Structure 1
Amino acid sequence: MIDGGSYGAGVGGEKSLWPVLAAVSAGGVLGALARYGLATAWPHRSDEFAWATLITNVSGCLLIGVLMVLVTEVYPNQRLLRPFLGVGVLGGFTTFSTYVVDVGHAATAGAVGTAFAYFLATVVGALVAVWIGVTATSRVVALRRTARP
């Protein structure tokens, strides 16, 4: 049973997880396919900077920042929006496990400087991207609210 009542009621008043699981699953497929496409289009050797993974994670974090403002301030009653886009699409798109493996592979291949630069660029880039996403979206939402008659 889920507290809060934000999910559809099931048999006997219990809250059904099936719509949420379906939303997460469908979104995860889309996100993983997008990540795979980017990684396939922009491959790298073990000793090279993993640009595709960096761009995937930083852009995913930017979109997570945007989404969190939208689901809390603009569309708070859309019960499947966060599971579909946040957990599903963006969870399937971002790949911090691959990032850690890439850092290890670069270091093992003797490219310690590349490994460290990639490690630092991802951490800083991801945090800054979330901040930019939240800040910019919050400002746009606030401007739209004040512009309404």
Structure 2
Amino acid sequence: MAPSDPAVVPGAHHPPSPTGPAALGAVAAGGALGAVLRWALSGALPTPAGGLGWSTAVVNLSGAFLLGLLLAGLAGTAARRGGAPAWHHLARLGLGTGVLGGWTTFSTLMVEVDRALDAGRPGVAATALLVSLVGGLALAAAGTAAGRRLVPTS
């Protein structure tokens, strides 16, 4: 694990991150679920030609909040137990990398920005970028704060 990992508690025992079939299965199953959920939402909130992709904004903003919440909650759990429980890393891989990785989409955001620019709508392109990037940072911080309140480290 990288030392900058927010789920690492200094001085606590951390089992190695799982690799192999369990880790691959957690990421694959989570990613499939997240992608299917995003696809369903994009059908419910289609992006008008040259318009702002609200489904893309919803998934990216909610994903930022939920990832902050998840990582802070897992870090709090690890701190309270004096180390990460056995399920901790698989939960992070399955829910964080898998579900939320499949749920969020930077590539679709960039396609929508490109299409808005091609349609002569730079204001829509700028709005999409600002909403996702600035809003995503703010909601990631809010999710982290909420996770810390829900699962304090001590």
TM-score after normalising by structure 1: 0.83
User: What SS does the corresponding residue of 1:130 show, helix, strand or coil?
Assistant: helix
TM-score after normalising by structure 2: 0.81
Q: CA RMSD in A?
A: 1.6
Aligned-partner Cα distance in 1 for 2:23–2:138: 30
Is there any run of 5+ residues in structure 1 with no aligned partner, and where?
Answer: 8-15
| 1:59 pairs with 2:81 | no
Write 1 or 2 for the structure with the bigger share of helix: 1
Aligned-partner Cα distance in 1 for 2:141–2:59: 16
| Partner of residue 29, structure 2 | 26
| 1:5 pairs with 2:16 | yes
Moved over 3 A (4+): none
Q: Deviations over 1:27-62 (max 9, x none)?
A: 001000000000011101231111110011000110
Aligned-partner Cα distance in 2 for 1:25–1:107: 34
**Residues 1-149 of structure 1 mapped to structure 2, 5 A cutoff:** 5-7=16-18, 16-74=19-77, 76-77=84-85, 78=87, 79-142=89-152
Q: Percent identical across equivalent pairs?
A: 38
Cα 1:74–1:44 change in 2 (3 A) is same
User: What SS does the corresponding residue of 2:74 show, helix, strand or coil?
Assistant: helix
Q: Decide which structure has the larger Cα Rg and report it.
A: 1
Q: Deviations over 1:98-119 (max 9, x none)?
A: 0011111111111111111111
Q: Which has the higher contact order (CA 8 A, sep 6+)?
A: 2
Which residue identity is paired with 1:87?
Answer: T
